[in-house]
């Protein structure tokens, strides 16, 4: 084989290997950096501004999210729990957990300057025994319904869920 053909074959193979290594394969799990919110909170704000009732809106469905003075609370879908880790300027980061369907993940929300609404994204960090799930999360919106803390919140049913209906399917 002449040197030109050999050099061309080696260059072509190298290009294919380099190009292939740069592509993210569809079966790879979501990176860990997506699954765990940044725990650092250099300019952390007082999360008590989050206390109250919020409407969580996603793909035409909604449910009530009740947050305490730390930005933590429950929601009725799949016995869900919402935990705020850091409110840094207008970015809220944290994690969620649903014990009924054995799933958990993280979220990040960009709140408006009045802290009354925000657009966010959520992702999985665990589904059952799978710690690096392949499923993507989604986008959502939250809107404040009240800022009266826990006063006047709906009563919980015997199973620990709230009495309002959600309709959200995940």
Q: Please state the rounded mean pLDDT for residues 103-130.
A: 94
Examine the pLDDT at 160 and tell me if it is beyond 50: no
b/e map 46-85, b = 16+ CB within 10 Å: ebebbbbbbebbbeeebbbbbbbeebbbbbbbbebebbbb
Return d(Cα 88, Cα 38) in angstroms, integer.
Answer: 11
Examine the pLDDT at 167 and tell me if it is beyond 60: no
The token duo for 99 is 């014990």
Mean pLDDT for all residues in the chain: 74
Q: Give pLDDT tens digits for 12-24.
A: 655 544 444 443 3
Residues 4-8: contacts with CB under 8 Å, at least 24 apart: none
Q: Please state the rounded mean pLDDT for residues 141-150.
A: 75
Burial of 37 by CB count in 10 Å (0-12 exposed, 13-18 middle, 19+ buried)?
buried
Q: Which CATH number fits domain 36-146: 3.65.10.10, 3.40.50.720, 2.40.128.20, 3.40.50.11540?
A: 2.40.128.20
Report the half-sphere exposure of 128 (CA within 13 A, side-chain side). 2
Sign of the torsion formed by the C-alpha atoms of 74, 56, 143 and 158: negative
Examine the pLDDT at 127 and tell me if it is beyond 60: yes
């Amino acid at each position: 084989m002449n040197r030109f053909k050999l050099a061309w074959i080696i260059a072509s193979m190298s290009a294919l290997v380099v190009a292939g290594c740069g592509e993210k394969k569809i079966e790879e799990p979501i990176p860990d950096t997506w699954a765990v919110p940044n725990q650092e909170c250099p300019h952390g704000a007082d999360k008590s501004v989050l206390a109250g009732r919020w409407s969580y809106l996603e793909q035409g469905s909604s449910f009530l999210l009740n947050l305490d003075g730390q930005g933590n609370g429950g929601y009725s879908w799949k016995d869900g729990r919402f935990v705020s880790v850091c409110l840094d300027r207008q970015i809220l980061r944290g994690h969620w957990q649903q014990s009924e369907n054995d799933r958990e993940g993280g979220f990040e929300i960009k709140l408006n300057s009045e802290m009354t609404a925000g657009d966010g994204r959520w992702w999985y960090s665990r589904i059952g025994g799978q710690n690096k799930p392949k499923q993507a999360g989604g986008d959502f919106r939250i809107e404040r319904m009240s800022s009266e803390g826990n006063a006047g919140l709906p009563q919980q049913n015997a199973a620990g869920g709230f009495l309002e209906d959600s309709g959200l399917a995940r």
